[in-house]
Copies of this chain bind each other. A is one copy, B any other.
Amino acid sequence: MPSSCDLLLHAACVVTQNTERATIENGTLAIDKGVIVALGPRPDIAPLWQGARELDLGNMLVLPGLVNAHTHAAMTFLRGLADDLPLMDWLAEHIFPVEQHLTPEIVEWSSLLGYAEMLRTGATACMDMYIIEEAVFRAADTAGLRCCGGEAVFAFPSASGPTPEHALELTRELAQRYRGHPRISVAVNPHSVYTTTPEILGRCRDLAEECGLPLHIHLAETASETAQCLARRGKRPLPYCRDLGLLTPNTTLAHAVDLTDEELDILAESGATPVHNPSSNMKLASGVARIPEMLRRNIPVGLGTDGAASNNRLNMFTEMGRAALLHKLSGNDPTTLPAALVLDMATLGGAAALHRPGLGSLTVGGPADLTALDLSAPNLQPLYAPVSHLVYAATGMEVGLTMVEGEILYHDGVFTRFDYSALCAAMRDVRDWVRRKAERG
């Protein structure tokens, strides 16, 4: 007699990202209470399980939900407002003048739009950093995807509050409020070395240690960050952070572009996880992160979209394709970063960056966080190698279903947890607000 489960899910192909990187043709997943309880070829699994619901996805490919390991979901409100500008002009003339007026409502709607795009394109989890993060968390809770986030800590005032102490206090409150939440967790988020002081970074480190929280920081994004850090602090960014005790296995380093050989060794020893943001690094001309060298040192590497102001998508398929191509060109070697390594970054590497090792693969006992792509799209035919298609051929818009903890959050054009047309209407209002603020300067 078959065992019962909440959902029996069938699909033409299942890319598991398990230890053997097994791909199953004509596969079935049995899901119960948010967990995968069985997984294998349909003829083996289907007779053994009775689902309260049964969903045959037909000619779709199921894969683990992608992990967007560095983003600022709320920044969708700035998407396409100002491109093709030097970084400092862009920040000073276009981004900061608007951001200083931000309200929780705008942050919440804009984050919800960001999460809608992520679910629409197969991401089920993200590492987020922004201001007024409590509003970001409300949006994540509405959308239903997993989010590890926290209030960005700056040496100067933000729309969240006047001081870094205030941002740390907000972080502490968020950590208490979301303790035990199944999908939302909190990290300490010093913004960067160039927007903080050694004292602030020390307090961030202490809070992370005290509360057992991850620490998430932008690090070594550009050569000019390095030059400024050398001038002000007498050290390059990575050794500076190491000497302040910030580099631990619980640390996530966004960008990690400008690193020396010796710093790559320091990074490998520290157990910290870097996150690669190829679109942002290209668009802002920040440089090429040394990803192949990191992987050769067995450093786990996450992949992230950064915010919509510097990408302008929050689409992990876009990042996978660009990562694979960028390093072939930059290393002058078409064998660099083969598709399987890139998919690892977007799944298992992201799990490392979020400090949630259960994510990024489909295994019995693991969470039912997954997404499914329609293989009948013209660009996904013919099919020889599923992983190649995920990295090189798919745009992300072939996604027809996204699920977290066994709960369907997006299916065939419908977001199950919120009213998408109300979100669109709210974003038109946000745009009008931004235009007024941008005009006033």
Contacts and interface: CB of A to CB of B under 8 A. Distances in A.
Interface of A: 76-77, 79-81, 83-87, 90, 113, 116-117, 120-121, 279, 281-285, 287-288, 308, 311-315, 318, 321-322, 324-326, 328-329, 331-339, 376-379, 381-385, 388-389, 392-393, 395-398, 424, 427-428, 430-431, 434-435
Contact of A282 (B83, B113, B326, B335): B326
Contacts of A84: 334-335, 337-339
A329 B389 contact: no
16 contacts: A76-B382, A77-B382, A79-B384, A80-B393, A81-B384, A84-B335, A84-B338, A87-B334, A90-B334, A116-B378, A282-B328, A282-B329, A285-B328, A285-B334, A383-B431, A395-B397
Contacts of A332: 285
Contacts of A379: 117, 120-121, 312-315
A381 B325 contact: no
Given A382-B431, A383-B80, A395 B117 contact: no
Contacts of A326: 282, 329
A384 B80 contact: yes
B79 A378 contact: no
Given A120-B378, A381-B76, A384-B431, A284 B334 contact: yes
Given A84-B334, A284-B334, A285-B331, 11 more contacts: A79-B382, A80-B393, A83-B339, A113-B378, A113-B381, A120-B377, A279-B325, A308-B393, A312-B389, A313-B392, A381-B427
Contact of A85 (B79, B335, B398): B335
A194 B335 CA distance: 23
A79 B117 CA distance: 27
A281 to B, nearest CB: 7
The number of times this chain is found in the oligomer is 2
A87 B335 CA distance: 9
Given A312-B388, A335-B85, A282 B117 contact: no
Contact of A285 (B321, B333, B389): B333
B334 A81 contact: no
Residue in A80, A120, A285, A377 with the greatest tally of chain B CB atoms within 10 Å:
A80
Contacts of A430: 382
A385 B85 contact: no
A389 B333 CA distance: 32
Contacts of A81: 384-385
Given A285-B334, A393-B79, A384 B435 contact: yes
Contacts of A287: 329
